[in-house]
Amino acid sequence: MKNKTSVLPREGEAQPSGCPDNSAFKQQRLPAWKPQLTIASVLSSFFLTGAFCLTVGVFLVLSANSVREIQVDYSDKCSDCSKLRENSSNWNKECHCSFNFTLKEDILGDVFMYYGLQNFYQNHRRYVRSRSDAQLLGRNVNIQRSYCAPFSTYRNGTPMAPCGAIANSMFNDTIDLFYNRNSSVIQVPLLKTGNSWWTDKNVKFRNPESYNLSSAFAGTARPPYWQKPVYLLDEEDERNNGYVNDDFIVWMRVSAFATFRNLYRRVRRVRHFTEGLPAGNYTFHISYNFPVTRFKGRKHVILSTVVWSGGSNPFLGIAYLISGTAATLTGFVITGIHLKLRKKKTYFQKQ
């Protein structure tokens, strides 16, 4: 057998390059705080956490339950229009429907109108990526190299504006609300702007620079499922047109779940509606354009108020309640184990 040679460096020789310096930092000898966990500190942390979560959860649940909300499913109420929209060749035919509902009590404060979709999946990877952010910023880009395909250009080479599957599937029902007061019918004034995020409206979306929108989008065409070009989304307000249209911006922020709601309008608090929506009879008038039958979807229109914690969504409050209950129960379990072990220790000490 061969003798094993020593790998330790001789006196006067340099240390190997892989060896760390003999310093407090590199040898992990720095002073550190090492908490000593006692039964009192552990139990107090669990019980305090549980009390905090339970308190916050109760306030959040009570706040969510105080939201006034009216939700109407109009998928079946507009069945004739739904059948018409099943055939894509009828895209240019108008179809209207209306239905009534009654408010038994006043809805005071700011009232928001939402449209809701059920069984509409926006979280598919290809669907989420099917957009051109550079195009939505108003830049003159080659969208053929984007993720918009197959909704990027037509067969003749005309580019779509905006491109992509998200924009092409934009919700385009028109919803109007009427108040039946005595023998007269009053249209409820609704605000079209101010419904999108400020960062979206002022940072992420921009119209191409030109002296007017029609010339800015010259040489482009609307997406296949749209009934009018992007520069005519709001013919009454030039500042709410094109890529900066609030309805378009809200739709482009896709949902993570198959059932979701998007903000559509806000009730303008003027004349008979300064305090909100008074009790009485109302009528929804729908211009039905968005088909949902093929994917077995449902459509809703929602009137709702908001509180300091948001809308009518008790999920966060329930999550706090569950977390608080779990922390409190864990504290009681640890207390029981500690008392049992201490009693057992005392017994053996007496022996």
Given a contact cutoff of 8 angstroms between Cβ atoms, the answer to whether 175 and 163 are in contact is no
The torsion defined by the Cα of 239, 243, 249 and 254, in degrees rounded to 10, comes to 180
> Is 64 in a helix, a strand, or coil?
helix
pTM for the whole thing?
0.80
Closest CA to 170 of 248, 84, 255: 248
The per-residue pLDDT for 11 is 56
Distance from C-alpha of 150 to C-alpha of 65, rounded to nearest angstrom: 45
Digit-coded pLDDT (tens) for 77-118: 998 998 888 887 777 788 999 999 999 999 998 999 999 999
Given a contact cutoff of 8 angstroms between Cβ atoms, the answer to whether 52 and 328 are in contact is no
The rounded percent of the chain whose pLDDT value lies above 90 is 59
Digit-coded pLDDT (tens) for 16-53: 567 888 888 888 888 888 878 888 889 999 999 999 99
- Both tokens assigned to 277: 């929506």
Range with top average pLDDT, 33-42, 303-312, 328-337:
328-337
Digit-coded pLDDT (tens) for 176-194: 999 998 889 999 999 999 9
- pLDDT at position 156 over 70: yes
Please state which of the ranges 28-32, 40-44, 171-175, 229-233 shows the lowest mean pLDDT: 28-32
The per-residue pLDDT for 142 is 67
Mean pLDDT of 287-308: 91
φ, ψ of residue 73 to 5 degrees: the values are -90, 115
The single residue listed with the structure tokens 């001789």 is: 10
Digit-coded pLDDT (tens) for 209-224: 887 888 889 889 999 9
Q: Environment class of residue 248 by beta-carbon count within 10 Å: exposed (0-12), middle (13-18) or buried (19+)?
A: buried
Given a contact cutoff of 8 angstroms between Cβ atoms, the answer to whether 153 and 160 are in contact is yes
The rounded percent of the chain whose pLDDT value lies above 70 is 93
Distance from C-alpha of 240 to C-alpha of 194, rounded to nearest angstrom: 10
Identity of the amino acid at 5: T
The per-residue pLDDT for 46 is 94
The single residue listed with the structure tokens 């109108």 is: 113
Identity of the amino acid at 221: A
Mean pLDDT of 47-69: 93
Using the Cα atoms of residue 327, residue 332, residue 337 and residue 341 in order, give the sign of their dihedral: positive
Enter the DSSP assignment of 202: I
